[in-house]
Structure 1
Amino acid sequence: MRRAGKKQHYHHGDLRAALVDTAVELIAERGVAGFSLAEASRRLGVAVSAPYRHFADRDDLLAAVAVRACEVLNDTVTAESADAHTPTEALVAAARGYVRFGVDQRALFEAAFGGKLDRLRHPELLRATGPLKDAFLGAALALSDGDPDRAGSLALAVATTAHGHAVMAQLGTFGPGPDGAELAVTRAADTTRALLTGRAALPPLPNALHLDTPTP
């Protein structure tokens, strides 16, 4: 990855991908609120008009970053779930992967959740979240005897549990550095197991399968 804070002269190649990379760097340094197309252009050494050949505006570029976030999050959850052989193990692994993404990929996490993008304007975000929602809902359906209302309620509960642990980890709740990050992952897994043990107490949630659950 390019070193933060250094001007990157763009010469040729895929400007769209370079802009996404640079947006991630700037978000890591300054947060979503501090990101601008003008600064991305300056860092790449291109004209301020150049990004508009690929993106209609700032939100359009942020949406592309959020799509990348979805892809990385899904890859992280998939890798974490590789050895899961039961629906319970799959949901616990999904929670672990979600938190691991949150602590390892803070810029992508912020781009996905801090940009307040209009998802009706950016349907690519809805498409990008599909595989991750399927991972949560597939296991939840298996644990809910195929009842979609109970499965939706359970998947939403696990996803929000994971999301909460990721946010708290970023705030330093579980301690600094790698040890704190790993504790957050472990606690998310333990909390998910406890939630699954008591899942019968969760009331069904009609139409939960169609809710915009807390994934990018």
Structure 2
Amino acid sequence: MSPPVKRRPTGQHHGDLRNALLRAALDLVAERGPHGFTLAEASRRAGVSVAAPYKHFADREALLAELATRGYREQRDRFAVAVGAGPDPAAQLASFASAYVRFAAEEPALFDITFNAGLDKSGFAELAAAGDEVAGLLLPIARRLAPDPDAAYDLLLRVAGAAHGLAVFLRQGLFGVGGEALPDTEDRAARTALAITRQQPTGQPPT
């Protein structure tokens, strides 16, 4: 008599393999960072064979690229809500900065994958498109404050850079770990963005 066929211990259905692997990878990134795991470890965490991921992902980079794409789309959705709260472009960029900090705090693994995985977007068309969608949402707002395209891009980079730095400081505990740390940092990011937008794109005070 033939031995009974063993089923996967997790009961994963084949059709859910892709999402199971993505969830496993996201958990591992939360624990170790985007460079701290292998595709084999993600397979074991998902309860599948180490060969199973290759049905959906060419390699670990491809898996991370799909998660980074999700990260950019989550940002786009959050930022669209934030900038839709009012018509003033300076206030819109301040709301974007605040939403940026909240995304980093609420989705730390996606944040780390999106910005720290070192992915080459030129090799992943969908990832590049998702990043462009975020820029496409925000650059027109910056153009209303700095009509020159290069100046508008520089303005957006300075606002985003300030928000990014504050988000990292928050996650490092520099602003405390209590219940007020996140809203206080959101407010700080909004105030910083407003201060930046009061300057000319060259960084000089307006005349």
TM-score between the two structures when normalised by the length of structure 2: 0.88
* Identical amino acids, percent of aligned pairs: 41
Aligned partner letter, 1:128: A
Alignment RMSD = 1.7
- Output the CA distance in 1 between the equivalents of 2:166 and 2:160: 10
* Off by >6 Å, runs of 4+ in structure 1: none
- Matching residue of 1:31: 33
Aligned partner letter, 2:175: F
Match of 2:131 among 129, 132, 139: 129
- Output the CA distance in 2 between the equivalents of 1:194 and 1:188: 10
- Matching residue of 1:59: 61
Tell me if the contact between 1:62 and 1:115 (Cα under 8 Å) persists in the aligned partners: yes
Measure how far apart 1:84 and its partner are.
2.2
TM-score between the two structures when normalised by the length of structure 1: 0.84
Measure how far apart 1:33 and its partner are.
2.3
Mark the structure with the bigger radius of gyration. Answer: 2
* Pair 1:182 & 2:183 matched: yes
- Matching residue of 2:105: 103
Aligned residue-pair number: 196
* Unaligned runs of at least 5 residues, structure 2: 1-8
- Output the CA distance in 2 between the equivalents of 1:131 and 1:152: 14
Residue-by-residue CA offset, 1:118-176 (whole Å, 9 max, x unaligned): 222223221011221122211110112x3112111111111111111111111111110
* Unaligned runs of at least 5 residues, structure 1: 1-6, 204-216
Residue-by-residue CA offset, 1:76-110 (whole Å, 9 max, x unaligned): 21222231221111111111111110111101111
Tell me if the contact between 1:95 and 1:192 (Cα under 8 Å) persists in the aligned partners: yes
Measure how far apart 1:9 and its partner are.
4.3
Aligned partner letter, 1:193: L
- Output the CA distance in 2 between the equivalents of 1:44 and 1:8: 8
Superposed, 1:1-216 pairs within 5 Å as 8-144=10-146, 146-199=147-200, 201-202=202-203
Measure how far apart 1:61 and its partner are.
0.4
Measure how far apart 1:8 and its partner are.
4.5
- Output the CA distance in 1 between the equivalents of 2:113 and 2:201: 35
- Matching residue of 1:211: none
Tell me if the contact between 1:77 and 1:96 (Cα under 8 Å) persists in the aligned partners: no
